[in-house]
């Protein structure tokens, strides 16, 4: 009787914990929103948050209509659950906790993709993608694994979703980012179209991104632990779910320190997530050693993945979603076959005849590993096929990518009429700007002013003195331009031979056209528009060329494209050489 009572007790205790776990997984939506916002540019922050919010909300609607029954309905041939509307017709006997729990898992799968496709995807297209994955792609493969489908029947083990959630989301992320193409400026190409350089686009708020990682880590205790059914099992899951990401982060720190010279903050934050993804499938079947090994590999895999996408696949994944979720999702799925050990409490992996199966490194041979591989391959194939069709259909029907103008200006204002997610702050996109082309060693040999020669002193600090304004030959050109034309302008100036400019963010205040954006239903008067002020001083380069080039670079056909002021700055004494010539203007900034 005590046995029976304990079962009742555990039913109550772990029933409530199951729902608490679901709430923690819901909380991961906030984590994804913060990670993705923090690791992308400020001009798209509102858009990425909106995508993260809407994939949960649209996903909920789709999950009610079709997804839930495809996942957990009565099994049909091992492939899908029977579609139905029990949630409406049989609410009194509905499986409420499982609905919520599976819904938040589904939403996690969907939201992974937004990061990889950030900063250039049309909002409408993202909404459609989000509906498709929540309605069909995820529920069907999850049915195979968790809904009594063929993989479940075979003995495939994916406790909390390295395969069902993360790999699936990660594959969608990879294919989506590939079909979309890279953000403007991500890859520099030479005249033959060959990529000569990968450019970094630093995230606009590391603290917000880091907060997102902490949120996700917290949520993961629910993600991995919610389905536990004993204190022992839950405790062990907490242990492995803590060790793997911690080790992954330490390994990544050491590796980036050695390889890149400094410990990389955002990569280490990614490594924590990588460790969490990798331990997700095996969290209930590994011991401490397994968790350490799985985490260590994850910490390296994420660095490799980021490098591989940038340098080999040439896929632009702004937040590292593919390296984190796809690669480590695969790794975690296979790791079950390597590290599963029956010293883990509540261990229950067995073949159809009930024989316990353990991992390769724990003497279990290749059987379990083989089953894990089959599961990985089947789900990967399903996901690749369905998501490719989905994205190509969306592309054909409504288009997948925002226009160049929208991308440069930012999706916040173009997609949502949100002038800035940080109203009142001066923000400038410093990422898609490439180096001017000449390089030189700038050290002058001494850091001690007194010991420096006059030539060294003057070379370090150039002084342009305007003695009398009457003399000719030297001009300061001040250009007020739209932010979105800055990159054109910079390139055009560089092509002309200009080697340095001073750039200031200013606000243009003036009469505006009537068609303003709406913020909460109220038209915004964009009377203080962010602009950029570029100052160039030229002498050898004809000032008329500078003006013509600037006009061409800024022109879009609207009054207000820009303003150019030219100042005759007269005679100049370059103190560097003591001479009165103009050559010194070839200085670097």
Task: Please tell me the distance from the alpha carbon of residue 137 to that of residue 147, in angstroms, as a whole number.
Answer: 14
User: Which helix (H) or strand (E) covers residue 347, if one does?
Assistant: none
Number of residues forming the site for its own copies (CB under 8 A):
222
Q: What angle is formed at CA 361 by the lines to CA 382 and CA 228, rounded to 5 degrees?
A: 65
Q: Which stretch binds its own copies (CB under 8 A): 151-159, 173-181, 257-265, 377-385?
A: 257-265
Task: Please tell me the distance from the alpha carbon of residue 468 to that of residue 166, in angstroms, as a whole number.
Answer: 68
Residues from 8 through 27 that contact its own copies (CB under 8 A): 8-17, 19-20, 22-24, 26-27
Residues from 199 through 218 that contact its own copies (CB under 8 A): 199-200, 202-208, 210-211, 213-215, 217-218
Q: Which is nearer to its own copies, 235 or 370 (CB)?
A: 235
**Which structure tokens are listed for 588?**
């670097």
Q: In terms of DSSP bridges, do strands 187-189 and 572-574 run parallel, antiparallel, or are they unpaired? A: unpaired
- Asked if 64 touches its own copies (CB under 8 A), the answer is yes
Question: Which of helix, strand or coil describes residue 577?
Answer: coil
CA-nearest of 509, 514, 492, 510 to 501 is: 492
* Cβ contacts of 244 within 8 Å, gap of 6 or more: 275, 276, 278, 279, 291, 292, 294, 295, 298
CB of 124 to its own copies, least distance (A): 9
Bridge partners (DSSP) of residue 522 are 519
* Cβ contacts of 21 within 8 Å, gap of 6 or more: 101, 221, 222, 223, 225, 226, 227
- Asked if 455 touches its own copies (CB under 8 A), the answer is no
CB of 354 to its own copies, least distance (A): 20
Q: Which is nearer to its own copies, 10 or 367 (CB)?
A: 10
- Asked if 312 touches its own copies (CB under 8 A), the answer is no
Q: What is the CA radius of gyration of the chain?
A: 29
- Asked if 300 touches its own copies (CB under 8 A), the answer is no
Residues from 368 through 387 that contact its own copies (CB under 8 A): none
CB of 518 to its own copies, least distance (A): 4
CB of 43 to its own copies, least distance (A): 8
Among 444, 455, 495, 583, binds its own copies (CB under 8 A): 444
Q: Which stretch binds its own copies (CB under 8 A): 92-100, 137-145, 167-175, 351-359?
A: 92-100
Among 300, 360, 459, 496, binds its own copies (CB under 8 A): 459
Task: Please tell me the distance from the alpha carbon of residue 229 to that of residue 235, in angstroms, as a whole number.
Answer: 11
List helix spans (H) across 136-230.
138-146, 150-154, 168-180, 206-225
Q: Which is nearer to its own copies, 153 or 446 (CB)?
A: 446
Residues from 389 through 418 that contact its own copies (CB under 8 A): 412, 415-418
**Which structure tokens are listed for 101?**
């729990």
Among 136, 154, 184, 253, binds its own copies (CB under 8 A): 253
Among 71, 303, 336, 492, binds its own copies (CB under 8 A): 303
- Asked if 34 touches its own copies (CB under 8 A), the answer is yes
Among 78, 94, 382, 395, binds its own copies (CB under 8 A): 94
Among 464, 473, 549, 577, binds its own copies (CB under 8 A): 464
Q: Which is nearer to its own copies, 178 or 490 (CB)?
A: 490
Residues from 331 through 360 that contact its own copies (CB under 8 A): 341, 343-345
Residues from 491 through 520 that contact its own copies (CB under 8 A): 499-514, 517-520
Among 136, 422, 471, 473, binds its own copies (CB under 8 A): 422
> First and final CA of the chain: distance in angstroms?
83
Cβ-based neighbour number of residue 231 at 10 Å: 12
Q: Which is nearer to its own copies, 57 or 397 (CB)?
A: 57
Contact (CB, 8 A) for 480 and 563 = yes
Among 224, 236, 333, 390, binds its own copies (CB under 8 A): 236
**Which structure tokens are listed for 478?**
């001040």
- Asked if 440 touches its own copies (CB under 8 A), the answer is yes
- Asked if 435 touches its own copies (CB under 8 A), the answer is yes
Q: Which is nearer to its own copies, 16 or 348 (CB)?
A: 16
Phi and psi torsions of 534, nearest 5°: -115, 125
Residues from 124 through 183 that contact its own copies (CB under 8 A): none
Bridge partners (DSSP) of residue 476 are 537, 567
CB of 397 to its own copies, least distance (A): 17
Among 150, 289, 361, 382, binds its own copies (CB under 8 A): 289
Residues from 520 through 539 that contact its own copies (CB under 8 A): 520-525, 527-529, 531, 533
Q: What angle is formed at CA 190 by the lines to CA 184 and CA 196, rounded to 5 degrees?
A: 75
Task: Please tell me the distance from the alpha carbon of residue 60 to that of residue 103, in angstroms, as a whole number.
Answer: 7
**Which structure tokens are listed for 304?**
């490799």
Q: What is the 3-state secondary structure (H, E, C) of 116-153?
A: HCCCCECHHHHHHHHHHHHHHHHHHHHHHHHCCCHHHH
- Asked if 50 touches its own copies (CB under 8 A), the answer is yes
CB of 395 to its own copies, least distance (A): 20
Q: Which is nearer to its own copies, 179 or 459 (CB)?
A: 459
């Amino acid at each position: 009787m005590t046995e029976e009572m304990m079962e009742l007790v555990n039913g109550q205790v772990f029933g409530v914990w199951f729902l608490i776990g679901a709430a923690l997984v819901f909380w991961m939506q906030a984590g994804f929103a913060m990670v993705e916002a923090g690791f992308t540019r400020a001009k798209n922050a509102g858009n990425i948050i909106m995508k993260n919010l809407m994939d949960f909300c649209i996903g909920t609607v789709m999950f009610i209509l079709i997804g839930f029954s495809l996942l957990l309905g009565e099994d049909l041939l091992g492939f899908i659950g029977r579609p139905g509307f029990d949630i409406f017709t049989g609410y009194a006997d509905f499986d409420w906790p499982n609905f919520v729990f599976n819904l938040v898992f589904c939403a996690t799968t969907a939201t992974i993709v937004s990061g990889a496709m950030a900063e250039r995807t049309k909002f409408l297209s993202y909404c459609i993608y989000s509906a498709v994955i929540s309605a069909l792609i995820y529920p069907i493969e999850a049915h195979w694994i968790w809904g009594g489908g063929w993989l479940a029947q075979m003995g495939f083990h994916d406790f909390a979703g390295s395969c069902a959630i993360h790999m699936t989301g990660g594959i969608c992320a990879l294919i989506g980012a590939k079909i979309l193409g890279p953000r403007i400026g991500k890859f520099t190409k030479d005249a033959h179209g060959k990529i000569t350089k990968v450019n970094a686009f630093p995230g606009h708020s590391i603290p917000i991104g880091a907060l997102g990682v902490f949120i996700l880590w917290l949520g993961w205790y629910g993600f991995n632990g919610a389905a536990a059914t004993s204190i022992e099992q839950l405790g062990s899951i907490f242990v492995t779910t803590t060790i793997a990401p911690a080790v992954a982060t330490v390994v990544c720190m050491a590796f980036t320190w050695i390889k890149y010279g400094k410990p990389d903050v955002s990569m280490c934050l990614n490594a924590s997530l990588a460790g969490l993804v990798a331990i997700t499938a095996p969290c209930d079947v590994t011991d401490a050693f397994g968790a350490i090994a799985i985490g260590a590999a994850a910490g390296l895999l994420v660095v490799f993945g980021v490098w591989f996408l940038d340098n080999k696949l040439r896929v632009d994944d702004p937040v590292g979603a593919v390296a984190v979720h796809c690669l480590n999702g695969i790794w975690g799925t296979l790791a079950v076959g390597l590290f599963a050990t029956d010293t883990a409490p509540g261990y229950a992996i067995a073949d159809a005849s009930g024989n316990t199966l353990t991992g390769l490194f724990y003497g279990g041979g290749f059987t379990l590993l083989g089953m894990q591989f089959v599961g990985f391959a089947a789900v990967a194939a399903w996901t690749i096929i369905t998501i490719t069709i989905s994205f190509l259909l969306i592309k054909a029907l409504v288009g997948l990518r925002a226009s160049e103008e929208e991308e440069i200006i930012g999706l916040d204002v173009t997609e949502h009429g949100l002038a800035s997610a940080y109203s009142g702050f001066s923000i400038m996109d410093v990422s898609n700007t490439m180096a001017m082309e000449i390089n030189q060693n700038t050290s002058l040999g001494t850091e001690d002013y007194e010991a420096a020669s006059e030539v060294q002193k003057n070379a370090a600090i150039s002084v342009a003195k305007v003695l009398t304004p009457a003399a000719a030959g030297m001009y300061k050109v001040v250009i007020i331009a739209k932010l979105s034309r800055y990159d054109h302008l910079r390139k055009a100036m560089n092509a002309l031979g200009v080697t340095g400019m001073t750039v200031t963010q200013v606000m243009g205040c003036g009469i505006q056209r009537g068609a303003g954006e709406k913020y909460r239903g109220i038209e915004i008067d964009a009377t203080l528009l962010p602009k950029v002020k570029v100052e160039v001083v030229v002498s050898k380069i004809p000032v008329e060329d500078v003006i013509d080039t600037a006009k061409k670079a800024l022109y879009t056909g609207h009054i207000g494209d820009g303003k150019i002021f030219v100042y005759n700055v007269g005679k100049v004494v370059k103190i560097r050489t003591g001479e009165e010539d103009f050559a010194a203007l070839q200085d670097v900034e």
